[in-house]
């Protein structure tokens, strides 16, 4: 194992792998990623892999767009497929107000050169015949996004980074982090590593790892369900893959998975996981599913997508999902008193935004300023005083918001 490096990246989920890859692409290759277990062991392995261009904050679109670009580039650099399905997405407008909000994004997408259109119900019917459009006000259509295989994508970036000279050490949890003689010292069971910079991409574990430094990082995990159905005859009858569909009224996203549906639900009463400490022996595990909580959403979905009502449920996954109090990731330096300590944590849509966020952060580290101006994601924005109760309240509100756009838009 390397023992003296320019950068240690802590955590080998999609965000850590992307950060290592971007640093290497920008010329920083004296780097080491330390992963507690295996790449993707945290939330990444069980994610649905949706990579939409459409986020609740128009400014975030650059992180989404940078992600698909990063993953496709890593596929080329590594020769490892990322399993990208360019199905496009439909975000349905459930009110006239929502349609107006969608229209307000048109200029922004045009400026970024991303295909985006507000379409009428007849276009929804054509693109996704399973959606009942009565009562809808059209949809926002982003035809060039879709979904990736999160594990293959992480592996592709890790392989490409290694190819450029970066190193990765698996089964190597970081036990302690201390500041010594103007550098960082990381203790692991395989010995210690000195680094000029440390990037914390350990998701909800970041909070516990930084606590001994007196840092209070408001990262907590909620449970999050995804359901996969058996084959659906209406889908099997089509000779193309339907676009992903998102619906603020149902509070659900749904995409095609093989010949069935895969859906993710933002519940109205989110449930937190391991608020008092992440179990030390937590592995690649799923949590016990709770279908009662999903029921009200599924009932609405059956009305909107009658084909779903007839489909058998094949799999229900419930996994931990990392949140910050405002639902946005934490990127950049965390506190002036700790130079060289960077965060890339707090991702609840880390497949969608991980690649672009890594590019944003790597530019900041290598060139001294982020790739573009986006203070809403700066890691230092919460200060050090957010209590657990405050964080939980704010995260609940974010989670419940689901696919509803903020009123201020
Ligand atoms: C059911 C479900 C479906 C989802 N679907 C989507 C989706 O479709 N699209 C989307 O964008 N997002 C989705 N997400 C969210 C997505 O999974 C996460 O945002 C993303 O995986 C976070 O990546 P990460 O790299 O930040 O964290 P993680 O993947 O959790 O990686 C953190 C890593 O840090 C490691 N680590 C922890 N402590 C240490 C230590 N002490 N030393 C070394 N390493 C350490 C862990 O082992 C882990 O591998 C979904 C989440 C769930 C639960």
**Are 357 and 311 in contact, with CB atoms under 8 Å apart?**
no
The rounded Å distance from CA 205 to ligand 1 centre is 10
Predicted local distance difference test score (pLDDT) of residue 56: 64
Integer angstrom CA distances of residue 377 from 78, 92, 362: 29, 27, 14
Residues in the chain where the model's pLDDT stays below 50 = none
pLDDT at 201: 98
CA distances from 137 to 52, 91, 100, 117, 120 (A): 20, 11, 10, 13, 7
Q: Does 221 contact ligand 1 (Cβ within 6 A)?
A: no
Beta strands in 93-163 (DSSP E): 117-119, 139-142, 146-147
| Per-residue pLDDT reduced to its tens digit, 272-307 | 999 999 999 999 989 999 999 999 999 999 999 999
Place of tokens 């000779």: 239
Find out whether the beta carbon of 15 lies less than 6 Å from any atom of ligand 1: yes
Using DSSP, state whether 299 is helix, strand or coil: helix
**SS3 (DSSP) at 70:** helix
- Residue 43 CB less than 6 A away from ligand 1: yes
**Contact indicator for 277, 208 with CB cutoff of 8 Å:** yes
| Cβ of 55 less than 6 Å from ligand 1 | no
- 205 within 8 A of 14, measured Cβ to Cβ: no
What's the CA gap between 226 and 47, in Å, rounded?
A: 9
The first and second tokens of residue 396, run together, are 């609940």
- Best mutation site among 155, 350, 379 for ligand 1, i.e. most ligand atoms within 8 A of its Cβ? 350
Tokens representing residue 88 in the block: 């496009």
d(CA 331, CA 388): 20
Q: Which atom of ligand 1 is nearest to the CA of 344?
A: 26
Distance of CA 326 from the midpoint of ligand 1 (Å): 18
Rounded to two decimals, the pTM is 0.98
C-alpha span between 120 and 94 (Å, rounded) = 12
Cβ–ligand 1 distance for 249 under 6 Å, the answer no
pLDDT tens-digit readout, 183-219: 999 999 999 999 999 999 999 999 999 999 999 999 9
What's the CA-to-centroid distance between 233 and ligand 1, angstroms?
A: 33
In angstroms, what is the span from residue 230 Cα to ligand 1's centroid? Answer: 26
pLDDT at 136: 98
Q: How far is the CA of 41 from the centre of ligand 1 (A)?
A: 8
Closest-CA residue, ligand 1 atom 3, reads 47
Q: Is 34 in the pocket of ligand 1 (CB under 6 A)?
A: yes
CA distance 131 to 65: 26
pLDDT computed for residue 58 by the predictor: 67
Bridging pattern class, strands 191-200 and 4-10:
parallel
Whether residue 47 has its Cβ less than 6 Å from ligand 1: yes
Check if the beta carbon of residue 392 is closer than 8 Å to that of residue 219: no
Q: What residues pair up with 263 in beta bridges, in sequence order?
A: 227, 254
Structural domains for the chain: 4-55+150-217+325-386 (3.50.50.60), 82-145+221-321 (3.30.9.10)
pLDDT value at residue 408: 77
201 Cβ below 6 A of ligand 1: yes
């Amino acid at each position: 194992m390397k023992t003296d490096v320019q950068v240690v990246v802590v955590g080998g989920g999609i965000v850590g792998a992307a950060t290592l890859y971007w640093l290497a692409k920008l010329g920083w290759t004296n780097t080491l990623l330390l992963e507690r277990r295996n790449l993707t062991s945290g939330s990444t392995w069980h994610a649905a892999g949706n990579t939409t261009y459409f986020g609740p904050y128009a400014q975030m679109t650059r992180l989404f767009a940078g992600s698909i670009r990063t993953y496709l580039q890593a596929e080329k650099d590594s020769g490892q497929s990322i399993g990208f399905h360019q199905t496009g997405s439909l975000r349905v407008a459930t009110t006239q107000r929502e349609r107006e909000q969608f229209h307000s994004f048109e200029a922004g997408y045009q400026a970024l050169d991303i295909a985006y259109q507000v379409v009428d119900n007849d276009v929804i019917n054509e693109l996704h015949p399973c959606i009942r459009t009565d009562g809808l006000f059209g949809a926002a259509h982003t035809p060039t996004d879709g979904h990736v295989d999160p594990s293959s994508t992480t592996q592709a970036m890790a392989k490409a980074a290694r190819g450029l000279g970066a190193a990765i050490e698996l089964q190597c949890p970081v036990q302690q982090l201390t500041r010594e003689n103007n550098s960082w010292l990381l203790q692991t069971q395989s010995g210690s590593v000195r680094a000029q910079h440390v990037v914390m991409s350990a998701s909800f574990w970041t909070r516990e790892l930084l606590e001994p430094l007196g840092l209070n990082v408001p990262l907590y995990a909620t449970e999050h369900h995804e359901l996969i159905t058996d084959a659906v005859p209406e889908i099997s009858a089509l000779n193309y893959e339907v676009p992903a569909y998102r619906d603020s009224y149902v509070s659900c996203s749904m995409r095609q998975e093989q010949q069935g549906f895969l859906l993710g639900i933002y519940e109205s009463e989110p449930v937190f996981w391991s608020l008092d400490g992440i179990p030390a022996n937590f592995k690649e595990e799923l949590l016990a599913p709770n279908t009662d909580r999903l029921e009200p959403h599924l009932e609405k979905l059956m009305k909107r997508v009658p084909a779903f009502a007839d489909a058998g449920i094949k799999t229900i996954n419930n996994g931990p999902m990392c949140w910050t109090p405002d639902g946005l990731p934490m990127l950049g330096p965390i506190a002036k008193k700790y130079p060289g300590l960077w965060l890339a944590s707090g991702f609840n849509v880390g497949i969608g935004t991980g690649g672009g966020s890594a590019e944003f952060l790597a530019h900041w580290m290598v060139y001294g300023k982020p790739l573009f101006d986006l203070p809403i994601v700066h890691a230092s924005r919460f200060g050090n005083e957010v209590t657990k109760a405050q964080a939980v309240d704010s995260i609940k509100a974010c989670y419940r918001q689901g696919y509803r756009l903020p009123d201020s838009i």
